[in-house]
Amino acid sequence: MSNDKSKIKVMVGLSGGVDSAVALYLLQKEGYDVHAGFMRNWDAIANNDISGNPTLLDPACPQEVDYDDAVKVANELGVTLHRVDFIKEYWDDVFTYFLAEYKEGRTPNPDIFCNKYIKFDAFLKWAESLGFNYIATGHYAKKEVKDGVSYMLKSKDHDKDQTYFLSQLSSAQLEKTLFPLGELTKSEVRAIAEKLNLTPAQKKDSTGICFIGERQFREFLKNYIPAQNGVIKDINTDKVIGTHVGVYYYTLGQRRGLGIGGLKDYSENKRWYVCKKDVKNNILYVANDDHDTHLKSDKIMLSDVNFINTPLKNGTEIKVKLRYRQKDLKATYYNDENGVYLRFPEPYFAVTPGQAAVFYDGDICLGGAIIGDIYFQEIKVN
């Protein structure tokens, strides 16, 4: 490939937010031949709920607002903006998985599979079909190439680092990707946007479901998984101490929004935490002490294991994140006759089936997997 950056074509995923806008500007400043692509992956009318009714819950679709902002950014920076639909791909590869996991009582992270199948697969293939050499995004991550091999590293801004969400990428996907924000902090990105007077300079970060936007989550999920009230039980006494609005809507370790507390039969009214979900019988189990053994795991089984480069060997000691922005934890990776799993040197709090376990060697992201069954001292937590 030519070393002349003006001959290298880059398609930037422009979301309408500040990060992708600044990523676009930085690549443009470096001299690349830059275009922008806006992905439309959710159709609130076409994606009907379980009873066949439209699920447009907002008076204005957040995605269309984002598109309008993307148009403004493209005009401000003088680049061509393309719009592409991946509605079917998103539904088939991301949203159906998201719903299936919730129906099993797990807590999925759709952003991880959105990256794997949409942003770095469907979008990449589409860009390549148009003759582009690379895609780029506003993710906070770094790519380093050593001896022809691409490695993904944590970004300079560890608080905003997003390698956790990129852990299912392949080496081939990484090779074709640029991360312009890897050496910047969020505050530096904001400052660049403000200096350029870009439309999303003060736009708040998106915290909603990938491509669906920010909604009242329980109300949104009820469109696809009907709510069914049930009982909340103290896992240590099996006593009913409250009611819930549907076990699917809670996650392990959750302590807010349970509607219990101040119970007269408990001399110590400590905080209550969700520790188990019995989907079959619609029972939510809680424990009232964060040191309770039902809330801690020292072994987890893994599925959807992905290594960006070289697979780990059985018995390798690594660092792992079990949820976004969690500190790196010690673990040992195993792949033997018992399956693929991690063991921890001590029990960790509220490890959640359906979330990602992401592997690290220092700042290098090695890959990741999805958390399956969890154990405490070899006792499976059902």
pLDDT above 70 covers what percent of the chain?
Answer: 89
For residues 189, 192, 196, 197, the Cα torsion angle rounded to the nearest 10 degrees is 50
**What domains does the chain contain, in order, with CATH numbers?**
7-218 (3.40.50.620), 227-287 (2.30.30.280), 293-381 (2.40.30.10)
Give me the catalytic one of 61, 210, 275, 365: 210
Among residues 83, 85, 66, 61, the alpha carbon closest in space to that of 20 is found at: 66
Residue 362's Cβ-side half-sphere holds a number of Cα atoms within 13 Å equal to: 4
The C-alpha atoms of residue 128 and residue 143 are separated, in whole angstroms, by 20
pLDDT band of residue 205 (cuts 50, 70, 90) is confident
Counting beta carbons within 10 angstroms of the beta carbon of residue 196, is it exposed (0 to 12), middle (13 to 18) or buried (19 or more)?
middle
At 118, is the pLDDT very low, low, confident or very high (cuts 50, 70, 90)?
A: very high
Task: Give residue 199's pLDDT band: very low, low, confident or very high (50, 70, 90).
Answer: very high
Only one residue has tokens 């006759």, namely: 337
Measured between alpha carbons, how far is 74 from 52 in angstroms, rounded to an integer?
A: 37
pLDDT of residue 213: 54
Rounded to an integer, what is the distance from CA 188 to the centroid of its chain? 23
Instruction: Give residue 131's pLDDT.
Output: 98
CB neighbour class for 353 (10 Å; exposed up to 12, middle 13-18, buried from 19): buried
pLDDT of residue 56: 42
- 24-68 per-position pLDDT tens digit: 999 999 999 999 999 998 875 555 544 444 444 444 456 778 899
Q: What is the pLDDT of residues 329-359, one digit of tens each?
A: 999 999 999 999 999 999 999 999 999 999 9
pTM summary value: 0.91
pLDDT, residue 67, reads: 92
Angle formed by the axes of helices 18-30 and 186-196, nearest 10°: 70
Predicted local distance difference test score (pLDDT) of residue 57? 42
For residues 72 and 48, the answer to whether their CB atoms sit within 8 Å is no
Q: Whole-number mean pLDDT of the chain?
A: 90
The more confident residue out of 261 and 307 is 307
DSSP letter assigned to residue 164? G
365 is a catalytic site residue = no
Q: CB of 179 within 8 A of CB of 12? A: no
pLDDT digits (tens, 9 = 90+) for 130-157: 999 999 999 999 999 999 999 999 999 9
Contacts of 213 (CB under 8 A, 6+ apart): 42, 58, 61, 62, 63, 206
Banded pLDDT at 178 (limits 50, 70, 90): very high
Lowest-confidence region among 40-54, 72-86, 235-249, 298-312: 40-54
pLDDT of residue 45: 52
Q: Residues 61, 114, 275, 365: which is the catalytic one?
A: 114
Nearest to 221 by CA among 108, 124, 337, 70: 108
Q: Respond yes or no: is residue 61 known to be catalytic.
A: no
Q: Can you say whether the dihedral through the CA atoms of 254, 256, 259, 264 is positive or negative?
A: positive
The whole-number average pLDDT for the span 183-199 is 97
